[in-house]
Structure 1
């Protein structure tokens, strides 16, 4: 199940043999397994023979940054990363056992995400680029959120979609019209530490009822883009949002802004999967 070269590279890095392995879901990008090592450690292992192996290097950095925020959100520890001789990148991290949500789980999660977002930076961006899914994510720093959103989030993904003929020049014109209005749409806030890819498939509650986050695309951005993303594919309850608002209220009018923020993940999904995501993008930008 695990490629022989990955197994060999992993065992050398961790100085332990793989005793057992069980295939688990790794999402739409990677292959994954739950493994037990000869030293009794439980690991979550994922690998990819098609993506840039640096993707896992950047993921480790993102997980470390989230762990450094020192909230009650559980972030898995990375045990090792590597690249095999035949170019397969892999990452082995702490295995977290999923539990069952309790009556106050969502409230705790909302509070702790608010705490994460209160970790601030001087500029929007990050000191290195990383990935969202398997696509490059540019994090060049900007003093302005509007500038960062346009230059580092919209333009790279929009150009990729146009080059692949998934969106046409009419969509580009609507985006350019939208850019002119953004200074009057986005409320001003200082940059917050973001998970960056927060949807229902990238968190769960562990056996101690703690919220666990994984598969990040970390940067410092406007926290509203993170909250908007949580609305896109479901998986978050009203109690989660009420708790977040109680601990770190949003500016009025967020419901009217969230579709604009979600152009970023929708463009990413357009470039990864095409289809209905391109139509969703077009329906939003046609307002401008």
Structure 2
């Protein structure tokens, strides 16, 4: 939830913005292994070297992240989540792979995800490639160009290739479940898989009344445009963006196949520059009604922040709904 580009290892947080009430944990090296030993046992058995050090780089309400050094000089990125089964990291792993398969962005390679065997209240972990972003130079124009290429990539997933919206598994947006069951109609998907679940979770009668009114007229915002499934990062804000050398990278996704414009739902804390948008729209021209749809996509993420962090996000949700209805 906090900006991470200044840390040596940035790919560690899920869903959110610096304004959220997320707790930051300063990176520190520890000799006693604080993460669950099952994760390190897997590394030692399958990647061939003993874990000698870890650095805790973040901690949230749903996961903790570590940089792990092994005896043979290799480095890995490990995330653990106590009390959550492996479905959360399965969604992350499949999302990273889907973006990786487009050959457009520098995406960390996933080695393994699985349950934390022996954890008292259950849990899961994921092991992936460590990306050194300490000396990376992020160019916004190149990020915009690469993101457009990712959105234009022909999906390898058969349902998406056939024009359906969703993802092979449900995943999470921050700590919130995100349903991804396949649908052929984007407007119905947006209503039933995104907006309405968040409105119901908020449990506020005023927001629900305005939300139902918006949803009843949602199709009017998509008249005259063609929506095709693109692989979306799904949670693209500044803390999930970095660079390895000169190459942009994105990580900590909440992936699904959806309308490419939905990628900008977190633009309010992404720091995208005019150069970014110019490069993006050179490849994917801005369609009529973009600004109104952008409000709808921002609403989804503001509602999620309301549900995760509380009433400080209520006014943004209400204001967007008032403007749209």
Give the TM-score of the pair, scaled to structure 1.
Answer: 0.90
What is the DSSP-based 3-state SS (H/G/I as helix, E as strand, rest coil) of the residue aligned with 1:21? strand
The match for 1:178 is 214
Contact 2:52/2:70 (8 A) holds in 1: yes
Q: CA deviation at 1:25?
A: 2.4
Within 2, Cα distance between the matches of 1:279 and 1:184?
Answer: 25
Contact 1:74/1:211 (8 A) holds in 2: yes
The match for 1:48 is 81
1:199 aligns with 2:237: yes
Q: CA deviation at 1:255?
A: 2.2
1:220 to 257, 271, 279: 257
Within 2, Cα distance between the matches of 1:59 and 1:24?
Answer: 18
Within 2, Cα distance between the matches of 1:109 and 1:100?
Answer: 13
Q: CA deviation at 1:10?
A: 4.2
Give structure 1 regions of 4+ aligned residues with deviation exceeding 6 angstroms.
Answer: none
1:282 aligns with 2:318: yes
1:110 aligns with 2:144: yes
1:68 aligns with 2:101: yes
Within 2, Cα distance between the matches of 1:267 and 1:156?
Answer: 10
Q: Deviations over 1:205-244 (max 9, x none)?
A: 11x2111111111111011110232x22132222111110
Q: CA deviation at 1:13?
A: 4.5
2:188 to 102, 126, 147: 147
Contact 2:265/2:299 (8 A) holds in 1: no
Q: CA deviation at 1:9?
A: 4.6
The match for 2:201 is 160
Unaligned runs of 5+ in 2: 1-33, 155-159
Give the TM-score of the pair, scaled to structure 2.
Answer: 0.80
Within 2, Cα distance between the matches of 1:57 and 1:263?
Answer: 26
Contact 2:265/2:301 (8 A) holds in 1: no
The match for 1:92 is 127
Contact 1:55/1:134 (8 A) holds in 2: no
Within 1, Cα distance between the matches of 2:88 and 2:43?
Answer: 17
CA pair 132-225 structure 1, distance change in 2 beyond 3 A: same
The match for 1:134 is 175
What is the DSSP-based 3-state SS (H/G/I as helix, E as strand, rest coil) of the residue aligned with 2:217? helix
The match for 2:19 is none
The match for 1:165 is none
Contact 2:65/2:78 (8 A) holds in 1: yes
Within 2, Cα distance between the matches of 1:216 and 1:28?
Answer: 17
1:189 aligns with 2:223: no
Unaligned runs of 5+ in 1: 163-167
Contact 2:165/2:182 (8 A) holds in 1: yes
Q: CA deviation at 1:270?
A: 1.4
| Alignment length (residue pairs) | 278
